[in-house]
Amino acid sequence: MDWDRAYTLMAERGIRKIVALGGGSLTAALVKAGRIDDWWLTIWPIIFGGKHAPSPVEGEGFLPDVAPHLELIETRQVGSDLFLHYRTVK
C-alpha cells in the first residue's frame, strides 16, 4: 500500500485524524511509513507470551536506530488495567 498517497487522498477530503485499529502487520506498515503519531496501549494483568504470542508489530521488526521512540503523555489505571498514551518522538 502506498501510505503517502492514501494519506494525501484523505487530507484532500478534509480528513485530519485517523484511528488505525488492526493487527501487528498494519501497525508495522504504518510505523515503517512514519504515519503513527500517537499510541494508546493497554496492559492487562495477564501474563501471555511465548514465541508465537502476538506483539504490537509483526514482520521483521525494527532495530533500535530506526525503531519509533515514544514519549509518555498520559497514564490511567482502571482496576488492575493500565492505559498508556504515548506520542512518537519525531
CB 38 within 8 A of CB 90: no
Give the pLDDT confidence score for residue 71 in this predicted structure. 98
Give the pLDDT confidence score for residue 63 in this predicted structure. 83
What residue ranges of the chain have pLDDT lower than 50? Answer: none
Return the C-alpha cell found at 9.
Answer: 487522498
Give the pLDDT confidence score for residue 58 in this predicted structure. 84
Q: How far apart are the first and last CA of the chain?
A: 23
pTM of structure: 0.78
Report which DSSP code applies to 69. Answer: P
| Amino acid in position 80 | S
**CA angle, residues 22, 11, 87, in degrees to nearest 5:** 50
Give the pLDDT confidence score for residue 54 in this predicted structure. 77
Give the pLDDT confidence score for residue 67 in this predicted structure. 87
